[in-house]
Amino acid sequence: MKLIHVFVVFSALLASLAVLQTPTFVLVFLAVTFMYVGFSESWNLVGGYIGYLSLGHGALFGVSAYTVAILWNFYKISPLITPFIGAFFAMLVAICIGYPTLRLRGYYFALATLSLPLIASGLVNSFPDVTLAGRGIPNVSPPEIAFLLRPNAYYAMFLGYMILCVLIAYKVENSKFGHGLMAIREDEDAAAVCGINATKMKVEAFMLSGFLTGIAGGLFASYLTYVSPSSVFGILLSVTPVLMTILGGRGRWIGPVIGAITLDLLRNYISYSVLSVLNSLVLGVVLIVIVLLAPKGIYGVITQGVMRYVGRKGHS
Amino acid sequence: MIAEEIVQSIVNGILLGGIYGLFGLGVSLIWGVMRASNFAHAAVGFLAAYFSFSALTKLSIDPLLSLIFLLPAFFILGMAIYRLMIYPAYLRTAQMDFELSTMLLTFGLSLVLESVMSYFWGTMQVSYSIQYFTTRAFQVGPIYVATNGLVALGVAAGAVAAIALLLDRTYLGLAIKATSQNREVASMMGVRVYGIWMFSFGMTFALGALAGVAMSLLYAYYPQGNLIWTIKAFIVVVLGGIGSIAGTLAGGILLGISENVGSTVLPFAFRDVVALAIFLTVILVRPQGLFGKK
């Protein structure tokens, strides 16, 4: 039995929590964690498999969230349908940024993506007619869902989103496409010699990543019931998937799953017990420590440990 | 009238561009020497700006005078960061990963510095340009030139000249250039490569501090605002061509002018969009930078 089977079976079991009488705080905590698993999984498609660090995925997330909120606010289109439209717009942004920058080294790409959330929030603030500027768009909520059933409904939706993302990542990892991406990460020139159209594949991966991120953003808009520049274009939202993926292990589908769950538990603990101004301090320190001490993440540490154990057994 | 406004915004752009160039200088140096990207560059500059702010308000020391203490302090801080973070990462990772690791490490550092600054100085904007200069601007025909901007541009030009002299006229500079061209050969010639790296990292931090203090003469700042300055520093480096010292200053002035003219013609919020658009266009058309050699 493979790890992915364990994951699918386990998630299927988790689905039952939505219909059982689960305490609301458990559902809410898990729903957000699931969203981050999927979000990190989509970041991993670019940052992990190709090794191009996107430091502004929050902007793609936010573009979609704003699309959903605006479509609801002005045209009353239910936020249950529009995440896909939002995801489409996120994908368009991904193409516009990815096409020029992904032809070059990761350095340029990181820079362009890093500037995206800042620019996006600047633009949002300067078109108050459409976006209501810094106050944000309130009351984004699907009318189809009864108020009391909201936690259960969003739990189910984010669970589905997470399973979708993990399965796509798993598929990519074991496909020709995914092997191409990893070849680009290892040695771009050699990959090109082997007949891989590196630019095209990188842009495709970034598009896919943008689309999946957009779904999360679109769902998050109506989950939170409001969208404001600080809630979607803050730097912490962009850092979070980076951190979660690196913490768990880059370039593996399992990495973001481990990382997101670990960091979400840690973060919840911190935000209750430590000063909130130190939130980014903790994230920064975790990032530095992980890169220095365990660049392959928790999964890397575990597999190394297992290998050492198995190896020792083999010798005796 | 419109023409005057545009000339005015070009003048403002040149003054602002000096600071952009100054921020770009440190980024360009460390990238050229050891292929490390310093995403904490402006955060370091902001920290220095906050120190000089405290020196001014608590001890009433002139910001430019406080540089006498700040530059050596940040030089040492830079060397310490190199020793604690960058060098261990270099030992652990392969060259390809080293670029990514430095990006992540310095990004983490910028988060840490940001929250340290928020903790000690608060998240509100800080500014002292008003108390500092008695004559705030002087007039040349219909055009106003800000005094503090001129000082900042002078500091930037001085720093560029000093770095250029260091690189071209001293043995140390020769060793730095040799290291950046070819590490192996340089070490065969007796250059202590890791020592040069450490020195360059210290210098990058000192340059960041200098840029931060120069920035604080003109602009209000707050801890979370550092990121956009780092991005602009990198854009300047890309515009000027990586490793070109004079090109960095020219790139800074170019960015400053185009931003200012852009935000005169377009709505103000497009200021940063203009910068990003220029950046994307340049890397599409001329990835080695406007003044760089392939």
More confident residue, A76 or A133: A76
Interface contact A125, partner B, CB < 8 A: yes
**In this predicted structure, what is the pLDDT of residue B293?**
61
The whole-number average pLDDT for the span A59-73 is 92
How does pLDDT run across A178-189, given as a tens digit for each residue? 999 999 888 888
Interface contact B43, partner A, CB < 8 A: no
**In this predicted structure, what is the pLDDT of residue B227?**
85
Give the rounded percent of residues in chain A with a pLDDT score beyond 90: 34
Interface contact A111, partner B, CB < 8 A: yes
For the ranges A36-50, A74-88, A234-248, B84-98, which has the lowest average pLDDT?
Answer: B84-98
How does pLDDT run across A219-251, given as a tens digit for each residue? 999 898 888 888 888 888 888 899 899 999 888
- The whole-angstrom separation of Cα A60 and Cα A42 is 11
**In this predicted structure, what is the pLDDT of residue B110?**
92
Interface contact A114, partner B, CB < 8 A: yes
Residue B220 and residue B127 in contact, taking contact as beta carbons nearer than 8 Å: yes
> Cβ contact (<8 Å) for A291 and B119?
no
Of A105, A123, A280, the CB nearest to B115: A280
Q: Where are the domains of chain B?
A: 2-285
How does pLDDT run across B249-260, given as a tens digit for each residue? 888 998 998 888
Given a cut of 90, whether residue A192 has pLDDT beyond it is: no
Testing the interface with A: which of B34, B39, B41, B100 to mutate, by most A Cβ within 10 A? B100
Interface contact B277, partner A, CB < 8 A: no
Contacts of B272 in chain A (CB under 8 A): 115, 118-119, 122
**B97: closest chain A residue by CA:** A51
How far out from the chain centre does Cα B95 lie?
25
- The whole-angstrom separation of Cα B215 and Cα B153 is 10
**In this predicted structure, what is the pLDDT of residue A219?**
93
- DSSP-derived secondary structure letter, B139: E
Interface contact B35, partner A, CB < 8 A: no
Interface contact B195, partner A, CB < 8 A: no
Interface contact B272, partner A, CB < 8 A: yes
The whole-number average pLDDT for the span A286-290 is 89
- The whole-angstrom separation of Cα A269 and Cα A280 is 14
Q: How confident is the model at residue B247 (pLDDT cuts 50, 70, 90)?
A: confident
Given a cut of 50, whether residue A316 has pLDDT beyond it is: no
How does pLDDT run across B174-202, given as a tens digit for each residue? 898 888 888 888 888 888 888 999 999 99
| AA letter at A166 | V
Total domains present in chain A: 1
Given a cut of 90, whether residue B288 has pLDDT beyond it is: no
- Residue A99's alpha-carbon distances to A52, A207, A251, B67, B221, in angstroms, are 13, 10, 22, 43, 33
Given a cut of 60, whether residue B49 has pLDDT beyond it is: yes
Q: How confident is the model at residue B63 (pLDDT cuts 50, 70, 90)?
A: confident
Measuring CA to CA, which residue among A218, A208, A207 is closest to residue A158? A218
> Cβ contact (<8 Å) for A126 and B267?
yes
For the ranges A292-306, B45-59, B168-182, B270-284, which has the lowest average pLDDT?
Answer: B270-284
Interface contact B103, partner A, CB < 8 A: yes
> Cβ contact (<8 Å) for B111 and A283?
yes
Residue A211 and residue A87 in contact, taking contact as beta carbons nearer than 8 Å: yes
Listed ranges B27-36, B67-76, B220-229, B238-247; the one with the highest mean pLDDT: B67-76
> Cβ contact (<8 Å) for A101 and B280?
yes
For the ranges A77-81, B80-84, B124-128, B164-168, which has the lowest average pLDDT?
Answer: B124-128
**In this predicted structure, what is the pLDDT of residue B265?**
78
Given a cut of 60, whether residue B130 has pLDDT beyond it is: no
**In this predicted structure, what is the pLDDT of residue B37?**
86
Structure tokens at A102: 């992904």
Given a cut of 60, whether residue B85 has pLDDT beyond it is: yes
Given a cut of 80, whether residue A9 has pLDDT beyond it is: yes
Q: What are the φ/ψ torsions at residue B222 (nearest 5 degrees)?
A: -145, 155
**In this predicted structure, what is the pLDDT of residue A196?**
87
**In this predicted structure, what is the pLDDT of residue B133?**
59
Helix (H, G, I), strand (E, B) or coil at A225: coil
Q: How far is A94 from chain B (nearest CA, A)?
A: 13
Q: How confident is the model at residue A64 (pLDDT cuts 50, 70, 90)?
A: very high
- The whole-angstrom separation of Cα A78 and Cα A182 is 39
Of B93, B111, B112, the CB nearest to A295: B93
- The whole-angstrom separation of Cα B25 and Cα B18 is 10
Q: How confident is the model at residue A116 (pLDDT cuts 50, 70, 90)?
A: confident
Q: How confident is the model at residue A313 (pLDDT cuts 50, 70, 90)?
A: low
What's the topology of domain B2-285? ABC transporter involved in vitamin B12 uptake, BtuC (1.10.3470)
Measuring CA to CA, which residue among B108, B64, B100, B66 is closest to residue B84? B108
Interface contact B280, partner A, CB < 8 A: yes
More confident residue, B286 or B111: B111
Helix (H, G, I), strand (E, B) or coil at B136: coil
- The whole-angstrom separation of Cα B224 and Cα B115 is 9
Beta strands B137-140 and B143-146 are antiparallel
Given a cut of 90, whether residue A65 has pLDDT beyond it is: yes
Contacts of B118 in chain A (CB under 8 A): 277
Domain that holds residue A117: 3-315
Which residues, 6+ apart, have CB-to-CB distance to A2 below 8 Å? none
Q: How confident is the model at residue B71 (pLDDT cuts 50, 70, 90)?
A: very high
Q: How confident is the model at residue B153 (pLDDT cuts 50, 70, 90)?
A: confident
Given a cut of 80, whether residue B283 has pLDDT beyond it is: no
- DSSP-derived secondary structure letter, B143: E
> Cβ contact (<8 Å) for B105 and A291?
yes
Q: Average pLDDT of chain A? A: 87
The structure's pTM equals 0.86
How does pLDDT run across A15-29, given as a tens digit for each residue? 888 788 888 888 888
Given a cut of 60, whether residue A142 has pLDDT beyond it is: yes
